[in-house]
């Protein structure tokens, strides 16, 4: 089983290292030919407007859209969340996004004064079946997740079909809709591997 990591821009190596930590083989996806035979795909952080342009120029936009239509599990982080959203506020007019996640996001929504910050986000309640066995190990509350936010998008609203797995100040920061898992922050930049482990499980693999 191999998970692809979109490798046009952003923190590709960190995601590949995090996937290795949870027992998953991964490979960078730079062109359409790299996108075949994957068990899942990571859309890393970076700059969603640049990623949109590069996805277009490589032909990967349509290839990835097709994979998402087919239900390929996907993990989007930060700019990756923006790419997955149904609607993007404060984006560029020519910016494209996949619309695979029933959510409205505001690019750079945490504002200039808080462009980057680290916080702990609560995951102990409210995530129902969304996390399956991936978080907390069953009984009791799961420990909070360390979360690094870098010019992060704010999730303004989500549809009923979206499970909110973690929030910060009332706003969803980790969400799941079926095969789509998305975080406003950067789980690959901290040592907590619960999100990558959950994603590995969604892809049908991974080990503790």
Q: Within positions 187 to 206, which residues make up the interface with ligand GLN, using CB under 6 A? A: none
| Residue 174 binds ligand GLN, judged by CB under 6 A | no
Total residues interacting with ligand GLN, rule: CB under 6 A: 11
In the annotation, is 188 catalytic?
yes
47 counts as binding ligand GLN under rule CB under 6 A = yes
> What are the backbone angles phi and psi of residue 131, rounded to the nearest 5°?
-90, -10
Instruction: Please say which residue, 93 or 138, places its beta carbon nearer to ligand GLN.
Output: 93
46 contacts ligand GLN (rule: CB under 6 A): yes
74-77 and 163-168 beta bridge pairing: unpaired
In the list 5, 14, 34, 45, the residue contacting ligand GLN (rule: CB under 6 A) is 45
Decide: 152 and 105 in contact? Cβ < 8 Å. no
List all residues 6 or more positions away from 54 whose beta carbon is below 8 Å from its beta carbon: 8, 9, 60
- Binding ligand GLN (rule: CB under 6 A), the pick from 67, 79, 165, 198 is 79
Structural tokens at position 2: 């191999």
DSSP H or E stretch at residue 86: strand 85-89
Query: Which residues does residue 136 pair with via DSSP β-bridges, in sequence order?
Result: none
Greatest C-alpha distance within the chain: 48
- Among 19-27, 76-84, 139-147, 162-170, the segment contacting ligand GLN (CB under 6 A): 76-84
Q: Is 48 a binder of ligand GLN (CB under 6 A)? A: yes
Interface with ligand GLN includes 154 (CB under 6 A)? no
Is residue 176 a contact residue for ligand GLN (CB under 6 A)?
no
Distance CA 64, CA 67 (A): 5
Residues that bind ligand GLN (CB under 6 A): 45-48, 78-79, 82, 107-108, 150-151
What amino acid positions are annotated as catalytic residues? 78, 186, 188
């Amino acid at each position: 089983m191999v998970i692809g990591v979109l490798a046009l821009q952003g923190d590709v190596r960190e995601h590949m290292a995090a996937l290795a930590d949870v027992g998953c083989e991964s490979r960078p996806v730079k062109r359409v030919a790299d996108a075949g035979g994957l068990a899942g795909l990571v859309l890393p952080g970076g700059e969603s407007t640049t990623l949109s342009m590069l996805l277009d120029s490589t032909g990967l936009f349509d290839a990835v859209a097709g994979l998402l239509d087919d239900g390929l599990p996907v993990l989007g982080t930060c700019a990756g969340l923006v790419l997955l959203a149904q609607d993007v506020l404060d984006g560029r007019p020519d910016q494209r996004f996949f619309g695979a996640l029933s959510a409205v996001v505001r690019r750079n929504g945490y504002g200039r004064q808080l462009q980057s910050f680290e916080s702990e986000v609560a995951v102990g309640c409210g995530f129902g079946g969304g996390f399956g066995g991936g978080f907390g190990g069953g009984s009791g509350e799961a420990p909070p997740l360390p979360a690094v936010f870098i010019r992060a998008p704010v999730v303004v609203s989500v549809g009923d079909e979206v499970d909110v797995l973690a929030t910060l100040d009332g706003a969803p920061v980790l969400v799941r809709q079926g095969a789509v898992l998305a975080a406003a922050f950067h789980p690959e930049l901290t040592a907590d591997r619960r999100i990558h482990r959950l994603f590995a499980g969604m892809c049908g693999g991974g080990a503790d």
